[in-house]
Amino acid sequence: MLFQGWTGYSSLALAAGFALLIAVLFNPLRNFLQKGIDRIFFRETYDYRQMLLSFSDRISNVLDLSELAQSILDPVVKVLHVQRAALLFPRIESGDFTTQFVQQATTEEPSTKLRLTNDNPIVTWLTTEGKALKRELIDIIPQFKGLWEAERVVFKAPGVELLCPIRSKGKLIGILAVGKKQSDSPYSDEEVDLLMTIANEAAVAIENAEMLDSLKNEQLRVR
């Protein structure tokens, strides 16, 4: 009886050990296969996921505004296959949002800089709603029915399809302006969500970089 009990216990332990070994070996294999499946059948989703992971790592310790802007715009243009993307920041003296950084897929000269006055209804909407604004919504959203031509000029500019607000503590600190895709296809909901995730993650990093930039400028004035 003792021998049978020991044999039963050994068999159980062996089975448990074998199951553990299978789990240890199978999980990495399953993860590897899943990545392969993602690459083949869900290429765009895989690219977006990888983009977000690398983006978060890249901006976490960047305090230089120019370097940060490049870290934001470069993957947007390359991964989403966008013709052009730009970052607008408010000018200190007026609060108007103007193009400060541009990234594009071609080497041609950048188009005219964008400008949105701080009292533009588009700026107000981006601040309060905190959502991406597509070009076609300008003629649909009630708040924009009475827009003057001068106020909708940002969407008259060539290559602007989407505006993503960059907010910190409810305050609009920047705008990510995205142009047409190289394929001319419309932006999917997933792509818009991705751009808004980038804008939201970039907000704190941009605020820190601007604060450091202001301190540097202040030190230069004091000297």
Please say whether the beta carbons of 190 and 196 come within 8 A. no
d(CA 105, CA 77): 6
For residue 77, give every residue at least 6 positions away whose Cβ sits within 8 Å of its Cβ, in sequence order, or none.
Answer: 83, 84, 85, 103, 104, 105
Query: In the prediction, which pLDDT does 69 show?
Result: 94
pLDDT of residue 16: 53
Q: Distance of CA 96 to CAs 34, 127, 149, 156, Å?
A: 47, 13, 17, 18
Residue 61: per-residue pLDDT: 81
Across-strand partners of 178? 85, 162
> Which residue shows structure tokens 């609060």?
95
Strand-pair partners of 164: 176
Contact 62, 71 (CB under 8 A): yes
In contact, 204 and 211? CB cutoff 8 Å:
no
Residue 209: Cβ within 10 Å count: 20
Phi, psi angles (nearest 5°) of residue 90: -70, 140
- Separation CA 91–CA 213 (nearest Å): 13
Q: Are 195 and 132 in contact (CB under 8 A)?
A: yes
* Class at the top of the CATH hierarchy for domain 63-222: alpha beta
Per-residue pLDDT for the chain (223 aa), expressed as one digit of tens each?
544 444 555 555 565 555 555 555 555 544 444 444 434 433 555 566 676 667 777 787 888 899 999 999 998 998 888 999 999 999 988 999 999 999 988 776 666 688 999 999 999 999 999 999 999 898 899 888 888 877 777 777 667 899 999 999 899 999 999 999 988 889 999 899 999 999 999 998 998 888 887 777 777 777 6
pLDDT of the residue at 52: 66
Domain boundaries, the chain: 63-222
**Residue showing tokens 């996921």:** 49
